[in-house]
Amino acid sequence: MSRKTTLILAIVFGVILFGFGLYLSFFETRGFVRTTAIIEQIEETWTGTDGDGYDLYDHEVLVSYTVDGVTRQSRLDTWSADYEVGKRVRIYYDPADPEKIHGDSRKLGMILWIAGPVVAAVSAVTLVRESRKKEEQPAV
């Protein structure tokens, strides 16, 4: 793959990161209500090993939370290495369907919507500089 193609792919990747970050930060939980949940259970399932021989795991996190005086339990769509049973975590629930919840992905979203433009900008500047260098080189 040529350097130019790699830089163009990096620009596209940066734009995708930015879009995904915006989605996580602002749109995934739009219309949802924030509350606190308690981690009741964490199930860890071994899924295999990666190319370097490290074990891979999936994690399912069961949380309980109260909406309008009713205690509910749902599976969380996020996992973090610092999660432990009994820990309080921020969640967002759909008021029309309180069983539908999302974990707090806003920090990750903010990182992505900042990192995406940085990746795209650095790649674009590098691409432009390399194009100018080629134009400035005398023909042999």
Q: What are the tens digits of pLDDT across the range 35-69?
A: 999 999 999 999 899 888 888 989 999 999 999 99
Categorize the per-residue pLDDT at 105 as very low, low, confident or very high, splitting at 50, 70 and 90: low
CA distance 32 to 90: 12
Residue 113: name the closest of 23, 40, 5, 3 by CA.
23
pLDDT over threshold 70, residue 115: yes
CA distance 93 to 95: 6
What is the pTM assigned to this prediction? 0.64
Find the mean pLDDT for residues 99-126. Answer: 78
pLDDT over threshold 80, residue 34: yes
Structure-block tokens of residue 65: 């939370």
- 57 contacts 79 by C-beta, under 8 angstroms: no
- If you classify domain 31-103 with CATH, what class do you get? mainly beta
Residue 11 makes CB contacts below 8 A (sequence gap 6+) with: 119, 120, 123, 124, 127
